[in-house]
Amino acid sequence: MKILVVEDDRDLAAQVAGTIRGAGMLADVVHDGIEAEYMGDTGAFDAVVLDLGLPGRSGIDVLKGWRMRGNAVPVLILTARSRWPDKRDGFNAGADDYLTKPFHMEEVMIRLQALIRRSAGFAAPQLTCGALSLDTTSGAASFGGQPITLTTQEFRIVEYLLHRKDKIVSRLELIDHVYGTDGDPDSNVVDVLISRIRKKIGNDMLLTVRGRGYRMIEPTAEAVAQDSK
Please indicate, yes or no, whether residues 68 and 154 belong to a single structural domain of this protein. no
Nearest CA among 153, 143, 127, 155 for reference residue 200: 143
Domain boundaries, position 177: 126-227
Query: Does residue 93 sit in the same domain as residue 184?
Result: no
Clarify whether residues 43 and 86 are in a common domain.
Answer: yes
Q: Is the pLDDT of residue 184 over 80?
A: no
Residues 205 and 131 occupy one common structural domain: yes
pLDDT at 32: 96
**pLDDT tens readout for residues 6-33:** 999 999 999 999 999 988 889 999 999 9
* pLDDT at position 220 over 80: no
Percent of the chain at pLDDT exceeding 70: 92
Helix (H) or strand (E) holding 4: strand 2-6
Last residue of a domain, one of 119, 153, 179: 119
Residue 95 sits in a domain whose CATH number is 3.40.50.2300
User: Which residue type is seen at 73?
Assistant: V
Neighbours of 189 (CB within 10 A): 15
Distance CA 138, CA 142 (A): 12
Is pLDDT at 223 greater than 50 in this prediction? no
Fill in the amino acid letter for 215: R
Q: How confident is the model at residue 224 (pLDDT cuts 50, 70, 90)?
A: very low
In a shared domain, residues 113 and 132: no
- Give me the percent of the chain exceeding a pLDDT of 90: 60
- Is residue 146 located within the same domain as residue 208? yes
Mean per-residue pLDDT over the chain, rounded: 88
- pLDDT per residue over 137-176, tens digit each? 888 999 999 999 999 889 989 999 998 899 999 988 888 8
Of 70, 85, 119, the position where a domain reaches its end is: 119
Residues 130 and 210 in one domain: yes
CA 170 to the chain's CA centroid: 16
Residues 93 and 152 in one domain: no
pLDDT grade for 124, boundaries at 50, 70 and 90: confident
Residue 36: pLDDT band (50, 70, 90) is very high
Structurally, the chain folds into a number of domains equal to 2
Domain boundary among 119, 148, 176: 119
Q: Is the pLDDT of residue 192 over 50?
A: yes
- Whether residues 7 and 108 share a domain: the answer is yes
Cα separation, 4 vs 101, in Å, equals: 18
- pTM of the predicted protein model: 0.76
Do 141 and 56 share a domain, yes or no?
A: no
DSSP 159-181: HHHHHTTTS-B-HHHHHHHHHGG
- Cβ distance 220 to 131 under 8 Å? no
CATH code assigned at 179? 1.10.10.10
25/102 same-domain check:
yes
| Same-domain check for residues 93 and 47 | yes
